[in-house]
Structure 1
Amino acid sequence: MTTQTILPVNAEGLSELSKRSNEPAWLTEKRLNALEMAAELALPKLEKMRIERWDIQNYGSHKVSDAVTSLNDVPASIQELVKDKEDASLVIQRNSGTIYTKLSPELAAQGVIFTDLQTAVKEHEELVKAHLFTVTTPEESSVTALHAALWNGGVFLYVPKNVEISVPLQAVMLTDEEDATFAPHILVIADTNSSVTYVDNYVSGDSTKAIVHNGAVEVFAKTGAKVRYATIHQLGEHVTDLSYRRAVLDNDASMEWIVGEMNSGDTMSDTNSILKGSGSTSDSKIIAIGSGSQKLNYSTRAVHHGKNTSSQMITRAVMREHATAIINGITKIEKGATKSDGQQTEKVLMLSPKARGDANPILLIDEDDVTAGHAASVGQVNPEQVYYLMSRGISREIAESLIIYGFLAPVVSEIPLEGLQTQLQSLIERKLGQ
């Protein structure tokens, strides 16, 4: 049975919104074509879950919040995330539009571009037009088509050839108005032999009404480029999070994903590295905690096209109460991708007999001269480990906490910023009710 997608806007309204934002004609056309596709395409098929039963129709309407010139004026819900960042390169989106952008003069002098995507469409049109929706395409499903039609705010990051950025560039995405469309699109282009770390946080207010976040990321790592992308999603229980992340790697490029899935609502997350160029590498680290009655579906993918490519995936998930998680790791080695190496590990730790976690490692190999491997485990806290720690004078509660933190440590320790590690640790404690 195909569920009909209810469009949150008609073509006339979308066209008017695009023109009111002074978008170029080609982008207006892309939006309208995507909206038409959204009405015809099916919802994405999730392993062992029926997304049509999720609350995914609440897109709201386009509502732009007032811009701020000082970080002292940002909403209280994100004050902690932006304190002491007055001099940092930072983009903040609130609901349907960007309210703050800043790029350090030093990076600007090197030709780095870091702004909201809606501004970049007009000021850096050729760069954006050549890459936008070329890897996260509207044709995938009604969800990606709706994103291509409705996206707003977002981030555009361009790093010129041979420019190496040592300080992370950061963004905060906030949804705190129940009837506002929230669909940021992140576009990162790292030119030849460049290097960059980008970090963002997705946050929601105290909404009691259902909201949908339909977001997408496109990363292009050109020859020899190195990109590290860290993202933490901590959206509330009334927010359904639908996130697609895609990266295309040219020869000898490297991509590192660090994803913290700390949401309290239903979540679908799809992270994909396309190793197009020979010698390219991908490293994906995913950490997730489910609680309450959450439905979580995480897919991490690596598709090898080039020769001598390598991919590594590590996923750690902790499930408590009635939460359900489906975790897919998919390594695809195409014909001709000789000498490639694809490795993956998925582990789920369940803290309640009513929690459920499925780990599904998948290898799809179309070439003989390769190496590939996978490992997966699903289980509860080992009572022998608990008893051992308790025999050393540690309480049961602390013993279980230590085991959980040790389970998650392979991902947490890889967070590129000390402040971000501290934040993630705090979120883990909150999600675990400690």
Structure 2
Amino acid sequence: MVLQTIETINPAFITSFAQKTAEPSWLTDLRIQAWAKAAELELPYVDKTKIKRWNFTKFSQYAGLAQPNFGKKLPGIVAEIADVDNQEMSLYIQEDQTPVHLHLSQEAIDKGVIVQDLATAVKENSALVQQYFMTTAVKMDENRLTAFHTALVNSGLFIYVPKNVELSTPIQAVFIQNDDRKPFMNHAIIVADESSKLTYVENYVGQTGKRRAIANIISEVIVKDNAIVTYGAVDTLDASVTSYINRRGHVLRDATLNWAIGVMNDGNSVINHLTNLVGDNSNSDVKTVTVGTGKQTQNFTTEIRQFGKASNGMILKHGVVLDAATSIFNGIGHIMHNAKGADAQQESRVLMLSDSARGDANPILLIDEDEVTAGHAASVGRVDEEALFYLQSRGLSLHEAERLVIHGFLNPVVDQLPIKRVSELLSHEIERKVKR
């Protein structure tokens, strides 16, 4: 069956693929509800970027949640990203819709941590997945793309850390997109129960080449009272991929969610990072870096909504724009009514290295309460000529000097990634994109 537009799918089609994978009825029912909504809802509002002509929904084939194939040979790219032989760290690898590797550290096993591909989780931990899937951090009916995702989600990961469990080693997930024919509809749910601690790092890797494809990615991170989650990510999807990436956090009392995200995609992207600081004394620090090249357009909206008293939100975004690329940074710090003592800070910096490049930094503070602290800083400009002159006076070429300045500009996030190999990967991707 060739699927040209979203209207060609119907409830019977959804029921058919759901029955083939024997998924629970609650998920099938939710898919059908979401499909009806997808036809009614608008695309998400994206400030200063026209996305109506972008392809977010067209594809030629579809397959539902795939069962694991852990005996399959791992793609060669994995060796550059993850240490498969490291038995002390938990590692999950997925190729398109198929889980191909899962190793849990002995510590995670002993402490009862759940790490499962989504197809397995919805069967073996159905009630737990149902509690959090598109119910808390992201809602199914927010816009056309969240509804589209809910209806056709076909891969993903579920992680649950029990109460009072602290993991000393990270959990890493590698998601690889090879198949341009099927939509890459990946969903990650991370739940850190009360007084738990987790470091999670994910990599999205594109291997589609020049074949046009779509990716619709949603992550939901639930951080309960007094829990701490450190979330790192490096995205490297191909130039042919139009991506919608929506990462959300829901943070309760005395809890902390810190993000370190490197966005090195080569195609057009809409990227939304929203953290809700729901509980009193909750905290979130969001660090993002990106490099835009070619003719790609990237639109980032990073928002922290602070509902809790004495909550703290910090947004730091650094971007480099080359060639004829466009990068839009929308930063929103929103202190809600009753959030007394809250502190909202943000900083957005964009470096442009080409006359044809475009960079925008749009800081927004929304304050609905007295007795709070808030501030923002934003800049868009070119590389400091004095810094370049100094480096050239020490024997570097202009290109080498620019490279050093760019790496230094982006290091605040590179250094925050908690797995050395992933940090090195981000540095490598930065180098790849600035080499011209």
Once the 2 structures are TM-superposed, how far is the Cα of residue 91 of structure 1 from its aligned partner?
A: 1.6
Q: Percent identity?
A: 40
Query: Which residue number corresponds to residue 431 of structure 1?
Result: 433
Is the counterpart of residue 268 in structure 1 residue 267 in structure 2?
A: no
Distance in 2, matches of 1:13 and 1:155, equals 24
CA contact (8 A) 1:284 1:314 kept: yes
Is the counterpart of residue 82 in structure 1 residue 82 in structure 2?
A: yes
Which one of the candidate residues 136, 140, 143 is aligned to 1:141?
A: 143
Distance in 2, matches of 1:7 and 1:79, equals 40
Query: Which residue number corresponds to residue 29 of structure 1?
Result: 29
Distance in 2, matches of 1:121 and 1:415, equals 30
Query: Which residue number corresponds to residue 301 of structure 2?
Result: 299
Query: Which residue number corresponds to residue 156 of structure 1?
Result: 158
Distance in 1, matches of 2:361 and 2:53, equals 22
Task: Provide the secondary structure at the position in 2 that maps to 1:16.
Answer: helix
Once the 2 structures are TM-superposed, how far is the Cα of residue 382 of structure 1 from its aligned partner?
A: 1.4
Once the 2 structures are TM-superposed, how far is the Cα of residue 96 of structure 1 from its aligned partner?
A: 2.2
CA contact (8 A) 1:299 1:328 kept: yes
Distance in 1, matches of 2:388 and 2:349, equals 19
Query: Which residue number corresponds to residue 215 of structure 2?
Result: 213
Task: Provide the secondary structure at the position in 2 that maps to 1:52.
Answer: coil
CA contact (8 A) 2:180 2:214 kept: no
Aligned residue type for 1:75? P
Query: Which residue number corresponds to residue 108 of structure 2?
Result: 107
CA contact (8 A) 2:219 2:248 kept: yes
- How many residue pairs are counted as aligned between the two chains? 430
Task: Provide the secondary structure at the position in 2 that maps to 1:107.
Answer: helix
Which one of the candidate residues 325, 332, 335 is aligned to 2:334?
A: 332
Once the 2 structures are TM-superposed, how far is the Cα of residue 68 of structure 1 from its aligned partner?
A: 4.4
Cα deviation digits, residues 211-267 of structure 1 (max 9, x gap): 110010111100000001111110010011101111111100000111110000001
Which one of the candidate residues 187, 199, 202 is aligned to 2:201?
A: 199
Query: Which residue number corresponds to residue 94 of structure 2?
Result: 93
CA contact (8 A) 2:6 2:58 kept: no
Once the 2 structures are TM-superposed, how far is the Cα of residue 209 of structure 1 from its aligned partner?
A: 2.0
Alignment gaps of 5+ in structure 1: none
Task: Provide the secondary structure at the position in 2 that maps to 1:29.
Answer: helix
Query: Which residue number corresponds to residue 246 of structure 1?
Result: 248
CA contact (8 A) 2:67 2:119 kept: no
Task: Provide the secondary structure at the position in 2 that maps to 1:76.
Answer: coil
TM value normalised by structure 1: 0.96
Query: Which residue number corresponds to residue 120 of structure 1?
Result: 121
Aligned-pair Cα RMSD in Å: 1.7
Distance in 2, matches of 1:400 and 1:156, equals 41
Once the 2 structures are TM-superposed, how far is the Cα of residue 8 of structure 1 from its aligned partner?
A: 5.8
Once the 2 structures are TM-superposed, how far is the Cα of residue 9 of structure 1 from its aligned partner?
A: 2.6
CA contact (8 A) 2:80 2:425 kept: no
CA contact (8 A) 2:295 2:324 kept: yes
Once the 2 structures are TM-superposed, how far is the Cα of residue 39 of structure 1 from its aligned partner?
A: 0.5
Task: Provide the secondary structure at the position in 2 that maps to 1:184.
Answer: strand
Query: Which residue number corresponds to residue 405 of structure 1?
Result: 407
CA contact (8 A) 2:71 2:100 kept: no
TM value normalised by structure 2: 0.95
CA contact (8 A) 2:81 2:421 kept: no
Once the 2 structures are TM-superposed, how far is the Cα of residue 106 of structure 1 from its aligned partner?
A: 2.7
CA contact (8 A) 2:239 2:267 kept: yes
Distance in 2, matches of 1:285 and 1:424, equals 14
Alignment gaps of 5+ in structure 2: none
Query: Which residue number corresponds to residue 185 of structure 2?
Result: 183
Is the counterpart of residue 320 in structure 1 residue 319 in structure 2?
A: no
CA contact (8 A) 2:180 2:208 kept: no
Larger mean Cα displacement after TM superposition, 94-103 or 108-117:
94-103
Once the 2 structures are TM-superposed, how far is the Cα of residue 80 of structure 1 from its aligned partner?
A: 2.2
Cα deviation digits, residues 141-182 of structure 1 (max 9, x gap): 101100011112201000011111111101111111121221
Distance in 2, matches of 1:40 and 1:5, equals 14
Once the 2 structures are TM-superposed, how far is the Cα of residue 105 of structure 1 from its aligned partner?
A: 3.2
Once the 2 structures are TM-superposed, how far is the Cα of residue 86 of structure 1 from its aligned partner?
A: 5.4
Cα deviation digits, residues 106-155 of structure 1 (max 9, x gap): 31221100011221111111211111101211211101100011112201
